[in-house]
Copies of this chain bind each other. A is one copy, B any other.
Amino acid sequence: MTSDTRAKMVAGAADLMSRRGVNATSMREVVRHTGTPRGSIGHHFPRGKQQLIEDALVFAGKQVSGPLEHLVQSRGAIAGLRAFIALWRQTLEKSKFQAGCPVLAVAVEQYVNDATEKDGAPDEAAQRHLLDLADGVFADWQRIMFTALRREGVAPARARRLAALVIASTEGTVAMCRAARSAQPLDDVRQELELVLSSALPK
């Protein structure tokens, strides 16, 4: 049903975005990188690059939230934190610190498409929509952490703040690891976050 080619393009776009960023990821490179046919782009993504990025974004979001949600529900908040961080560590190390988080890339860059913006003004609505999607992914991850903390007895406001801290610091650390080409920051941050969470849980 949903074409295999299409899925490969979305996954390839997510990967390239996590390495190069949004603007440095061209559709031509996506098809080169995935061995998919260039002619199919217009077919599978009639709205063009914007649509491909959108799909790659929610794809990347689900790829994390799926396992995370499952693990958090079966083994609790701290195990979820460990898994979340381990997952990023794996992404970093497997790619020799070249790949990062595509969602972060969208949140940090501004997608500009010269082709569709002949008039001077950049398409504000398109950019807003991408940010909305990125925000949605972050919110989703945060919600998973939030729910786990609530279930383990943390007060609502505190749980919200802690969830924000976990997601934000992990994302930031991934970028720092990329810059340092080392996983050391991830270890440091994980250690401190575990301390914070375990001391926030009621004894």
A interface with B by C-beta (< 8 Å): 19-24, 98, 100-101, 104-112, 131, 134-135, 138-139, 160-162, 164-165, 167-173, 175-176, 178-181, 185, 188-189, 191-193, 196, 199
Contact = CB atoms under 8 A, between A and B. Distances in A.
Which of A169, A178, A180, A192 counts the most chain B CB atoms within 10 A? A169
B20 A178 contact: no
B138 A178 contact: no
A159 to B, nearest CB: 11
Nearest to A185: B164
A171 B167 CA distance: 11
A169 B179 CA distance: 15
Nearest to A109: B21
A168 B164 contact: no
A76 to B, nearest CB: 19
Contact of A107 (B138, B169, B179): B179
Give 10 nearest A-B pairs by CB, closest first.
A172-B172, A169-B169, A21-B109, A168-B172, A171-B172, A161-B188, A135-B179, A168-B173, A107-B179, A107-B175
B20 A110 contact: yes
B109 A20 contact: yes
Nearest to A184: B164
A92 to B, nearest CB: 12
A110 B175 CA distance: 12
A169 B178 contact: no
Nearest to A195: B196
Contacts of A180: 135, 138-139
A85 to B, nearest CB: 12
Contacts of A169: 165, 168-169, 172, 189
Contact of A189 (B106, B112, B164): B164
